[in-house]
Amino acid sequence: MDEVAEREFREYVQMRQGALFRTALLLTGHREDAEDLLQAALTKLATRWTRLQRSGSPDGYVRKILYHQQVSWWRRARHGREYITAEPPELSSIADVAGDSSIRLSVAKALRQLTPKQRAVIVLRYYEDLPEAQVAEILGCSVGTVRSQTHRTLDRLRVICPELSMTLETA
């Protein structure tokens, strides 16, 4: 990569890393995994940066990398990863720093109970606010599959997390 391309890549990463990290965090459910996932995705993006610059925005390509890498890791690990802490977290002792933190915790817990594909559909459709056609392209499936997966996943979320039912009704 030449100096100009490297500078533009660094600027892109600096500008988009917050949003890409949040997407990775929603896909993985764990901060450490999200950091690893984003690093792997940005490494792959760097190898194709020059070609992607000519074609336009690399955001779609990065999202596709994030999804496929997460599914690949998930297949290898099969939920076998444990997170060790000095003491188990006591959620009741955590201060409520925002009015809707309990909803955020519920959403995070509910997302962790979904399959990687279900999680990806919900994150891409509702968090990233992408149209069904773009989600289908990223996931490598048809628009009809995205619609049916979205419908089934929202139904499952209503069962997993009933307190979100009012929020999901507007979706």
Domains and CATH numbers, the chain: 1-80 (1.10.1740), 99-171 (1.10.10.10)
Residue 158: which residues within 8 A CB-CB, separation 6 or more? 164, 165, 168
Give me the pLDDT at residue 105, please: 76
Q: pLDDT tens digit string along 10-63?
A: 999 999 999 999 999 988 888 998 999 999 999 999 988 888 877 777 888 898
Q: Give the Cα separation of 9 and 7 in Å (integer).
A: 5
What is the distance in angstroms between the CA of the first residue and the CA of the last residue of the chain? 43
- Model pTM above 0.85: no
Q: Tokens 């993985």 identify what position? A: 28
Q: Are 71 and 115 in contact (CB under 8 A)?
A: no
Q: Cα 84 vs. chain centroid, distance in angstroms?
A: 23
Is a pLDDT exceeding 60 seen at residue 148? yes
Q: Which of 154, 158, 135 is nearest to 145 (CA)?
A: 135
